[in-house]
Amino acid sequence: MASAARQPPSAYSTVHKFGTNERLYDAGGAVVTGWTVRDLEPSRDTVPGYPLAGRLWQATATVQAVRGNVTPVIPDLNARSNNGQNYQVLWQAFTPTG
């Protein structure tokens, strides 16, 4: 996952399990965002206009303002595997189930 500070992926050394809350800090700690990603499963959606290489997965992401005014930056959301591979959210692709 990425924060508004736009740090490189190598700056995030922690991999959290699905369903646990990950807190992101910005503005010297004045803004704290809590992200929870859960219910990872294969998707049956098609993505018109985007050729897919491999399997498409879906999950539910919940954002909570822990401190300050929080604006989620959905295009910066990534899932990272234990081996360090990043999988970016397809925010620009609309599907029937959202």
Instruction: Write the CATH number for 63.
Output: 2.60.40.1240
**Does some domain include residue 72?**
yes
Q: Are 72 and 63 in contact (CB under 8 A)?
A: yes
The residue range of the domain holding 71 is 9-88
Q: Are 39 and 60 in contact (CB under 8 A)?
A: yes
Looking at residues 84-96, what average pLDDT do you find?
A: 79
Q: Write the pLDDT tens digit of every residue in 19-56.
A: 888 888 887 889 999 999 899 899 888 887 778 888 88
**Does some domain include residue 3?**
no
Give residue 15's pLDDT: 65
**Does some domain include residue 1?**
no
* DSSP assignment string, 32-63: EEEEEEEEEEE-----TT----S--EEEEEEE
CA–CA distance, 95 with 25 (Å, rounded to integer) = 31
- Structure pTM? 0.68
Q: Would you say residue 16 has pLDDT above 80?
A: no
Give residue 84's pLDDT: 81
Number of domains in the chain: 1
**Does some domain include residue 63?**
yes
